[in-house]
Structure 1
């Protein structure tokens, strides 16, 4: 089957959406499918306001149509609601082609955090965008239920995995600061609620690994915190291993791949009891979820790291990709051939 995945989030961005799509495409190819990615790398772009690392494609409609027609996919998946996603959605609706979408991030909450647009306005727009598809894939059961309650139709589960061969327990020599070492890894942006972690009175040392628009201010406001930059995954694994506790202060993530990556390295998690941590960590004993984040951090120090690793091993990208595959709505081979004829 030829599968076209349309995404406004792609390399060199470092985030959960890019990681998920990269791993899913790799698994789909291993299953024997032909996968083509339609990404901003093929278009003229400009930086997204308030988030310059994200590139927005300029006037992509014609080229998106050309790419779809030349590839003649059996299945089309629109991963994001940006310019490429909107152009692909418009083409599919015009040609009456089935497509699926995905809900990766709490876009309404993120927009509200930046410009105070009421979340109900953003959700109304998202409902219209996603309900035109045959299925909208969400990463956890709780997010599926939430979207259904908000009026989204045909919500389907598409979970996430972790590379347990890359993210493994091992030497814990990456950080040379006082223990216990509390570490956050991810985007440094307002929606991640990082200051809820940085403000805590904790023993030992705190680390923030990653980059983002909030980084310059946080460096200035928290001089005692250790800030590292962006690293490839192999180096990130060393940070995860060296941490005594992985702190995840976000209140808005739909999943949190970094939770699984930390757990695969044997590092227990401290987080708030919200969607994402509740689904990934829950009552597994691999972390502590508490509305008092400091209490969660301190309790997590007592968790057996071997148990944390065993919990992470329950998740795989192969299983997640099979869910994605089952959620697609492919057309028959003769129907697909008609796309190439416009």
Structure 2
């Protein structure tokens, strides 16, 4: 017998996860007690056979992310289930009875046709409903805006957001209005043929003008609120970030980051990995004075900068892909948000005055 407190469909852990999941990280627990007569079997096959609407690939992704535990220890998908094992699964999806409620929330729509929309998300707006954020999200706003579209059901996973960005990251997102468009666009993201570029202000003066960061990403075992880079190819998901320095301000630098993959907190973690945490990234320690002088005047300047941009200084600047039906190559850009523009101007003035 298997004791299942509750069962939900496992989420896809490959995408950049918004604040509704990764920023809250309050996962529902699902407990399975293995029968005494159970023969040795891989845990991915075991769970796939016993959980409804869950594929083996989904279980493997959950295990890679550290969301599958046996006797309170995270295990790989190759783990062999034994009698009396207590399997605990952490989910990122809300309860199955949860429904998206349309809410009249303003949208900055950059482009729209009968197949898709491009939305410029402001910082602070959660993308998808989740624990602690069941309303007031971008998905709720889309449900309101598209409520007269008979083909768009906000509770149908076959339409809607194709990818996500973190709550406190601003910038461009693509929304599929039809199942065919979502399938096509999702495949482009999977095949890494989309073009995505970000702007980030990071701590420190980078040694190289440009470079590439390669490192598997998975949950930090010491802090489940964070992601971390792992050298072991068996841990986490392959991630690649290309960066180029655009401006240097002595103690901080403005960089362009081009994503080859789209993992949870990818830019934030990769930049920290090479010693350049994003400016004011509270989750990863960027809200401390990491470079500069010990003078009180400088520290006050940095504190004022934190107030101007009270979030990680990261903006999804551009997005390019092939239109799912017309096959036209589309490319969209967005302006730097006001808080980051003001922040950069403040650093420019600081450097200019310092060099006088």
Q: Which structure dedicates a bigger proportion of its chain to strand?
A: 2
**Bigger Cα Rg:** 2
- TM-score of the superposition, structure 2-length normalised? 0.26
Q: Which structure dedicates a bigger proportion of its chain to helix?
A: 1
Tell me: higher relative CO, structure 1 or 2? Use CA pairs within 8 A at least 6 residues apart.
1
